[in-house]
Every structure is written in structure tokens, then in C-alpha cells.
């Protein structure tokens, strides 16, 4: 693995996050987010930097419920693909999840083999118990709607796999 450093994101990193995710948004791999939403959620993001300080990747952890979080916006610069950026970011996001007391991580992805290598499994039609469902369905967050497999986000989720990992 290349010498990488993963750190918390700062507001000054938002243009770098936009640069990293925009090609993935254009190709339909990631959902686009307004810049204001990225600023509002900057505390959820981690940044991967190369040894010379270049921003080469990003990823976010969004808490959905008392024991459940979502890995979001995991991206690496094209020239840094298959060089350990995603792995390093995911390791830190999982550590963050454990520190917050989460026991399950969700992701919606086209990159099934990558997430399988990291212990995620296709969750199929699995959801949550009815009482939690009733609370989560009140959320306006599209990621929560994707987790619940709600009809209103079906156009966004076509071809994606809903995956879950139990944290030990």
C-alpha cells in the first residue's frame, strides 16, 4: 500500500470532495449532493492524502439509528484506484462507527466485490423491526430511504446492491 494518511475533513476539503465525486455522479455511480449539503455534513467525512499532501480520496460515515450507520461517498481519484485508498478510508470509517457505538454498517453500491472483501454482505430484502422502521421512515434523508428500500428512491438505486456489515 502507498503511504497514505487519513484524517478528518475540513471545510477547505469540500472542493476536493466535489472534484473526486463529480465524475462518479456524472456516470451514475454516486448520487450528487449540493455543495451546501457537503458543508453541512463535513464532520462525517474523512480525507485520504498522499505522502505529499494531495487529496486522493474521501468517504463519509452517516449515523442512521442507534446501532446503524451508512458508508457514503467513498471515492478515490482515478489515478489512485487499486492502491489502497478505499481500504484505508473504510478502515477508519469502521473505527469511527465502533467509537460511536454502532454495530451495523450499511452501504448502497455498485462495487460489490470491494465491499464483500471488507465483510459486507448483500442484505436482500432485510430491513429493521417495525418500531424502528416507523421511526426511520420519518427521515427525509435519501440514504435512509435507500436502506429501507422505499419506492421514492427506486430510480436512484437501480443496479445498486444494498449491503450490510456486522461490526465485531
Domain ranges for the chain: 4-166
- The class (CATH top level) of 4-166 is alpha beta
Taking Cα atoms as reference points, which of 126, 30, 12 lies closest to residue 75?
Answer: 30
Beta bridge partners of 46: 8, 59
Rounded CA-CA distance 55/66 in Å is 31
Rounded CA-CA distance 102/114 in Å is 21
Beta bridge partners of 60: 45, 72
What distance, in Å, lies between the first and last C-alpha atoms of the chain?
25
pTM: 0.87
What are 123's three cell numbers?
442484505
- pLDDT tens digits for the chain (168 residues)? 458 999 999 999 999 999 999 999 998 888 888 999 999 999 999 999 999 999 999 999 999 889 999 999 999 999 999 999 999 999 999 999 999 999 999 998 999 999 999 999 998 776 667 677 677 777 777 777 777 776 656 555 556 888 999 998
Amino acid at each position: 500500500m502507498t503511504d497514505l494518511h487519513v484524517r478528518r475533513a475540513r471545510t477547505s476539503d469540500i472542493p476536493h470532495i466535489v472534484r473526486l465525486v463529480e465524475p462518479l455522479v456524472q456516470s451514475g455511480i454516486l448520487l450528487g449532493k449540493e455543495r451546501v449539503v457537503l458543508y453541512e455534513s463535513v464532520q462525517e467525512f474523512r480525507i485520504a492524502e498522499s505522502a505529499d499532501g494531495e487529496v486522493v480520496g474521501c468517504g463519509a460515515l452517516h449515523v442512521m439509528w442507534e446501532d446503524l450507520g451508512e458508508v457514503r461517498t467513498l471515492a478515490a481519484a482515478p489515478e489512485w484506484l487499486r492502491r489502497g485508498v478505499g481500504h484505508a478510508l473504510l478502515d477508519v470509517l469502521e473505527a469511527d462507527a465502533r467509537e460511536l457505538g454502532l454495530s451495523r454498517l450499511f452501504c448502497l453500491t455498485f462495487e460489490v466485490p470491494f465491499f464483500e472483501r471488507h465483510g459486507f454482505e448483500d442484505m436482500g430484502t432485510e430491513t429493521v423491526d417495525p418500531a424502528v422502521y416507523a421511526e426511520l421512515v420519518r427521515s427525509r434523508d435519501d440514504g435512509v430511504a435507500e436502506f429501507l428500500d422505499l419506492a421514492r428512491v427506486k430510480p436512484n438505486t437501480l443496479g445498486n446492491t444494498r449491503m450490510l456489515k456486522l461490526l465485531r
